[in-house]
Amino acid sequence: MAGQGPRPGRGGAARPCRRRADVRGARSVSRRRRGGARGGRGRALPRRPRSRARRVGRSCRPGHRGLRHLRTGTRVGMSDQPPFHRDARGRSRPARRRPARPAVTPDELLRRKSLSKVFLLVASIAAFVSLIAAGLARLDGSGPQDAPPSDARAAATEAAPASALLPNAVLVDVVKIVDGDTIDVRAAQTELRVRLYGVDTPERGDRCFKEATDRTRALAAAQVQLVPDARLQDSFKRELRYVYTAGGESIDAALVREGFALAWRQDGAQRAALIALEEQARAAKRGCLWSSQ
């Protein structure tokens, strides 16, 4: 039979190599024959043709174990693929590796350190030169100059920044200047009459009344800060507060220092400081209270 060759048997004698399909066919025929011989119980059945795909056997060449014949369209396993495909696990090309970075030599490290030092030196020189230029511009008058005292005071009383708000102080709007030591303010939609805690200015009709009232009006401007002390009201139900400008300057201290008011000597946390200012103003004969003495 074509495609068959001698194959060694148990006894060393060559026996013909039969395909698996032929062996199965022979076994089925012998079974049918044995069944037919036993009392006619069995009968011969026609042999069914087997498909080509199932007739897979070994090669009949002597000493050769044979190769596996694959059907058309059968997927090849990973073990049957070449090493390239087994390693890549289905990728179309092997993974690219990034090139290794070259090692940094000692000369390169020294060069980088030198560059960083040079950069820091240049930045320091530039900052120093800018500071010198700003100082020279301020000296020759081309730079920004300090505003006159009157302008600075007016600018400070326009509005109180958050940093100028004193501890325990309340910022209020000024409604009216009654006299040198009394003002009307508005806080939370409520108008209050406030008496300056630490000073006593001339009353209406007395000498220096107008000057003290005008000075208080200039210092208070549009807004003031009110700071409470031990007593909150006087005998006339006026609120007692130390009054500061919006910028944080004490109006009580300014009136006494400039010779427009006397220090309140009965009580108050700032009593000692205000008395000292009054003595200085009296000795220097400042303001309308002490200039004629």
Active site residues: 195, 203, 238
Please state the φ and ψ torsions of residue 209, each to the nearest 5 degrees.
-65, -50
SS3 of residue 16 by DSSP: strand
CA–CA gap between residue 199 and residue 261 (Å, rounded): 6
Q: How many CB atoms are closer than 10 A to CB 253?
A: 19
CA–CA gap between residue 26 and residue 175 (Å, rounded): 127
- Which of 58, 60, 56, 50 has the alpha carbon at shortest distance from 25? 50
SS3 of residue 200 by DSSP: strand
Sequential DSSP letters for 129-155: HHHHHHHHHHHHT-S--PPPHHHHHHH
